[in-house]
Amino acid sequence: MKRFITTLALMMLAAPALAGEDSTERYWNSGPAWYDIPCGLACFRLWEDSGLGAGDVRLAQLRHARTPAELRSAIEARRLDRRDERL
């Protein structure tokens, strides 16, 4: 009985950690989820593959992009800006 109560108590302690939403489906790990953005999963994958961080693609750009092509142009513009900053 003691073993059962201990197991139950440990399971209750671990439950909140397992019940949380996965941060890998959010921009910047704490930003909006991919399903909160009009472009959806296609833009999330494009952003994820680009390797850009929070300072590179802003929330306003994400909310404005309706298609992957629009987000792609914002990403490319940011990459050009970064290249100019280095020169």
Token readout for 10 is 């440990």
Question: Number of structural domains, the chain?
Answer: 1
Structural domain contains residue 10 = no
Q: What is the pLDDT of residue 21?
A: 54
Q: Report how far apart the first and last C-alpha atoms of the chain are (Å, whole number).
A: 70
Q: How confident is the model at residue 85 (pLDDT cuts 50, 70, 90)?
A: low
Res 35 pLDDT > 80: yes
Structural domain contains residue 18 = no
Q: How confident is the model at residue 86 (pLDDT cuts 50, 70, 90)?
A: low
Structural domain contains residue 36 = yes
Provide the domain limits for residue 61: 23-86
Sign of CA dihedral 66, 61, 77, 41: negative
B/e letters for 22-57, b = 16+ CB within 10 Å, e = fewer, are eeeebbeeeeeebeebebeeebbebbeebebeeebb
Res 53 pLDDT > 80: no
Structural domain contains residue 71 = yes
